Structures are given as structure tokens and as C-alpha cells.
Amino acid sequence: MKNIALILAGGRGKRFWPHSRFNKPKQLLASPSGNSMLRDTFERLLTYFETDDIYVATIEDLFQPIRQIIPEIDILNYIIEPVGKDTAASIALSTLLITHYRSEDINIAIFPIDHYIPEQEKFHQLLEFSFQVVQKFQKPVILGIEPKREEPRYGYLCTSNQVEQFKERDIYVVNKFKEKPDLDWIKQNSKIYKLFWNSGIYFFPAQTILKQIERWMPKLNKAITEIAQSIGTLEKGEIIRQQFQIIDSISFEYGILEKIDDLLLVKGNIIWEDIGSWIAMERFVTNDNNGNIIQGKYTGIDTHNCIIVNNKGLTVTIGLSDLVIINDGPIQLIYPKSRE
């Protein structure tokens, strides 16, 4: 069975403001490698998937700049949404179109762009194993990461002792999923379940995605059904535009994953970090002798444990600690790290 990759590249990345703005969202920003986050994601997948098997979902406003970053992908492999309506709509439309033009009998893996995954070989082994699990059990599979800390900005997966064995590895049955819980929820559920972070990387038999949307998101399913009936007609583009104007903006996590009842989990034994915010830089960028993370021109006295990013001119600090300081030319953003 064919395995397909879908990169979700339609978000705006508001947590990276002011660097990430309407005309330059986070997928176009530089990652720790120096490339854009989108380019890093594409190159990470390119060593496992054929180029023809990689699709990118984005919105009209971002199509041209994104295509400049990954020109290798054929224009037909772009799923272009008229407006952003979050990941549930993006995944639904993409799955519909990919299965129509390729085959209904495929597996689809879904990838965000804001991840730090330096261990390529281990990552590819996880991809291969996860696809094998999907093929074996014909159920959706999520890549789970063992928590390193209590992190309310991530989704949490609760598993118990109920596991499947496949190729001498444990496959966990997910009891429940909670998107971005508070600390009390994390503490309470850690006493009952084995918890994993949601990596945001999902593997599905393609038809399973559409069936779950039909079951749990009837309004979105109605829109997708209308779009499906327009495929092959001159009205398809206008129908997509009309339906995207009226559907709700809901993430795949809230719309599907919190409700799904047959989700399996593969443990991700890899270095993984979400790099979707300024504070995340602390986990993969080397700091100076005072604990500061510095990008751009900067000088300071008695400044400790700050994140300082300067794109224009010179940033100078005296007697500061535990702040995020972002200078983007006409806009400066300063706030306590504890507020993120």
C-alpha cells in the first residue's frame, strides 16, 4: 500500500510575533539549522518519501512564497485552501483530494512544520514502523513522546497497561486525549495513566480520516461532501471557496482526537521538541555564560536568563532577567518568560 506524507503549512504562527506576521508566517522563518522550518520538514521527509508522494496543504496567500521554498514539489501536490480554517478542515480537504486523484487505498502521515528532530535515521525507522502498525491494525496511529516536564502547551495522551505487541515492540492503546490541559489535569492523570506528549505526527488509513470526520464533525463532513460532488467540474474552486467561508475553524485535535476511541500510540524514542514559540528556543539553542539566548547584535550588563532576538540595529540591556526581548525593527516585544 502506498504511503503519503501531508505537510500542514497553512498556519500563521502567532506565538512568534512580531517576526511571524501576516506576510511572513512561521513556516518561512529560519529554524536552528538556518533553513526555514518548512524546508527542514521537507528535507527530513525527502529521504524517506518520494517527492511525488509529499503533499503540502496551505492557503492561497502563502502558496507562492512556500513554493519558492520547496520548488521540487509539483504544483498538483499543493492543496490550496482559500482561507485558513485550522487543521481539521485542512486535513479533511487534503485527504479528499489526495484519495480522489491517487487512490482510496493509501495511508497518510500528517506532519506539522514546527518540530526539531535531529536524529534522521531513528525518525525514519519510526516512520516505517508506524506505517506497518497502521497496515497491520487498520487503525489511526499517533507518535507519542515521553514527557520531559509538565508542559500545558502540548496535547497529552493517556495510556494504560493495555498494549498490543507487534514485531517485539509495544503498541499502546490510547484511553483518552486532552489538548493543552492545565497543570492540575496533568498531575492528576499522571497518577492514573502513563502519559505521552502528542507529537502532532499522525498516521491513518486515508478512508479512516474521512470516516472519523463524518462521525464527529458533521458540519465539516457536509462541506467536504459538497466539495467531493464538485470534483471534475468547473465549479470546484468556487464550491471550495463557498464551503470554507461557512465551516467552523477547529483544530484536528479538538475536533477528532479528543473524541476518537480506537487510537493507537507508537512511542517515539527520538529527540523531539516543538519549536513553535520563543520560549522553546531554550531547549535547542546554546546559551551564553549568563544563561541568555542571543540572536543578532546585542550587548548587555548584568543580564541573565533572557531570550534576546534582534533583527535590526543593536539591543542593549542592563540589569534584566527572565525576559523575552524581541526587536523586529519597527516593532519591539518584551515580556516575562513566565507569561508565555
Q: What is the pLDDT of residues 232-290, one digit of tens each?
A: 999 999 999 999 999 999 999 999 999 998 899 999 999 998 887 788 788 777 788 89
The answer to whether residues 315 and 170 belong to one domain is: no
Q: Which of 236, 256, 278 is the last residue of a domain?
A: 278
- Same domain membership, residue 290 and residue 273: no
| Residue 167 · residue 131 · CB < 8 Å | no
Residue type, 339: R
Are 70 and 118 found together in one domain? yes
Does one domain contain both 212 and 309?
no
What sign results for the dihedral spanned by CA atoms 151, 157, 158, 160? negative
Based on the fold, state whether residues 78 and 201 are members of the same structural domain: yes
93 and 202, same structural domain?
yes
| pLDDT at position 31 | 57
What pTM was estimated for this model as a whole? 0.89
Q: Are 195 and 266 in contact (CB under 8 A)?
A: no
- The pLDDT score that the predictor gives to residue 331 is 85
CA dist 303 and 143 (Å) reads: 39
Residue 89's Cα: distance from chain center in Å? 14
Positive or negative: CA dihedral 182, 184, 185, 187: positive
The cell for 195 is 502519559
Domain count within the chain: 2
Length of the chain (residues): 340
The burial of 236, by beta-carbon neighbours within 10 Å (0-12 exposed, 13-18 middle, 19 or more buried), is given as: middle
CATH code for the domain of 117: 3.90.550.10
Q: Find out whether 81 and 189 touch, Cβ atoms under 8 Å.
A: no
In whole angstroms, how far apart are CA 309 and each of 33, 83, 156, 247, 319? 16, 30, 30, 38, 17
pLDDT at position 34 is: 66
Residues 104 and 243 in one domain: yes
In this prediction, residue 26 carries a pLDDT of 54
- Inter-axis angle of helices 86-101 and 218-230, to 10 degrees? 30
Helix (H) or strand (E) holding 211: helix 206-216
Burial class (CB in 10 A: 0-12, 13-18, 19+), 83: middle
pLDDT at 280: 78
Q: 152 and 114 in one domain?
A: yes
Q: Return the closest-CA partner of residue 81 out of 314, 317, 244.
A: 244
Domain boundary among 228, 248, 278: 278
Q: In this structure, are 272 and 320 located in the same domain?
A: no
Same domain, 246 and 177: yes
Shared domain check, 238 and 135 = yes
- Which of 229, 260, 278 terminates a domain? The answer is 278
**Parts of the chain with a pLDDT under 50:** none
Closest CA to 284 of 111, 45, 115, 125: 115
State whether 267 and 311 are in the same domain.
Answer: no
Pairing relationship of beta strands 106-111 and 169-178 according to DSSP bridges? unpaired
Parent domain of 231: 2-278
